[in-house]
Amino acid sequence: MLIDQINKLTGDKYYFLRLNQAIVDKDKRLVELCFVIPRDVDQNVWNDEAKAEILQACQQLLPPTFDVKIRYVKTAIDSDVIKRLVKDYFIKNNKALIGQYDDKAIKIDIEGKKVKVIIPAYDHICDYCVKSGVKEALHDYLDSNVIADFKIEFLPIGNASVSNIGVSEEIYIDRGLVNVTGKKALMGQGVDVRPKYISRSNTLKAGVCVAGRVSEFSRNISKKGYIYYKFTLNDTTESMKCIAFTRGKKHGSLDCVEDDNCLVVEGELQEDGDGKGRILRVEKADLCNVDFDGIIEAIKASKEIEKNKNKAVVKPLESHGTLNLFDMTMPTCPLLVRNDVVVFDLETTGTDVRTDRIIEIGAVKISGGEIVSYYETLVDPKMKIPAGASQVNHIYDSDVAGAPYIEDCLGDFLDYCKDCYVVAHNGDGFDFLFIKRECDALGYSFDNKTLDTLTLARKAYSYGSTPKLKNHKLGTLCKFLDIELVDAHRAYNDAEATAKLFIKLANTLNLQ
């Protein structure tokens, strides 16, 4: 830890320093550090000489090819400041818990440099925060912003309905991450990825990381004399078969493993060669302790919140333009009669599905052939929004500050799409790819039937059908079909226009 190394180099003279932020700009070869110091720091200790000594220590500790810039922020131990920081922590790091505790009832006890923070919350939320590491993370966050000796306490207040506190539009979503401790590398160079529930790790791909209790462990010898292992892991959510190959002929890296040990492993999930399911080909493996109770409590909390989940995020349609989409003479096609459809649009930081991030999701639902509701949320992409993207969609860093992360709202969006056809304009080349990437990363499945209005439009209307139709862009098609498109390149507005386009296309093509 940088602070520990600075204290070692400076003889602990600046023990009161806290590292609040570190930003590395590889292009500029620059490291910017922000330290927090007490407002009442002794001026005999804290002066220009002290700042110069700390700068020198940082330059010594950081790569010599990087420049170092340092700024200092003075903070006082103030109850209002601490309450605000508690709220800021949840907004930045776990927005799904906003509304699950009573922020107005937070109590701050200050005795000199000792600060006790008492947070009333429902019983299952208290258990979750303690067992999932939220309590420790909140402590570290406060410690990095205020110079004090913090003690965090979550105070159980029973299991009353969420409505007793005040319903938030955010919901608790179990992210499916497993807490492991005491890792000891056995195979590879150590697992440095956070494992996910086995039940959410069913996509055939590399980089799958799971943890659990070992059973059916066997040590085997290949035809060429090499050692390999087969075993099963169970984390209480599901089981996964694993196989690990080694280059040893006498000794293998997993020789010490036995049934009932716990392992965290990383590798590629493949179809099993015997055609009986899937198997993880292990590349890294660590002995560890697995927090099974934490998994059980997180799932329990998720189910408890699901019972009272606020559906206000799904709102009645506030249409731009006419809602009477069936003033046309053609009948409604079978697909629209028999199925609900969600039409959605994304705004992103750019067009590269590998590196760019979602910053807005907008969707509308069609039921019985009519638009009935909409879903809309901004998304914090955990990166600066490029100026070029903002010029197109008019979404700026200030707009997404405090918005949920994708892991906090993707589950809610998928709930909105449940049992529906899912439609987007150029979805096959853009929107579906972003959603599938995030689902793979977070352990969700996206197996809805999909339709692309770009593909449908190319079937329905050729370029030569009218002089107005020069291409099949959304704006061009809307103008051609007299569909109002307000504030293009905002997700909800584009989704509503696309929904009206889809209804027209589905009826024109008589989709079954």
Single-letter amino acid, residue 176 = G
**Per annotation, catalytic residue among 124, 425, 472, 489:** 489
Cβ(72)–Cβ(35) below 8 Å: yes
d(CA 241, CA 222): 18
- For strand 208-221 and strand 262-271, is the pairing parallel, antiparallel, or unpaired? antiparallel
HSE-up (13 A, CA, CB side) for residue 492: 16
* Catalytic-residue membership of 489: yes
| 230-236 long-range Cβ contacts below 8 angstroms, 24+ apart | 231/257, 231/263, 233/198, 233/263, 233/265, 234/198, 235/178, 235/195, 235/197, 235/198, 235/210, 235/211, 235/290, 235/292, 235/295, 236/212, 236/292, 236/295, 236/296
Q: How many residues does the chain have?
A: 512
Q: Which two tokens stand for residue 283?
A: 């590349």
All residues at 6 or more sequence positions from 411 whose CB lies less than 8 Å from its CB, including other chains: 171, 173, 442, 444
Alpha carbon distances (Å) from 250 to 115, 188, 219, 227: 58, 18, 12, 8
Give rounded-to-5 percent helix, strand, coil for the chain: 30, 30, 40
Closest among 377, 383, 376 to 357, alpha carbons compared:
383
Closest among 30, 46, 29 to 38, alpha carbons compared:
46
Provide the annotated active-site residues.
489
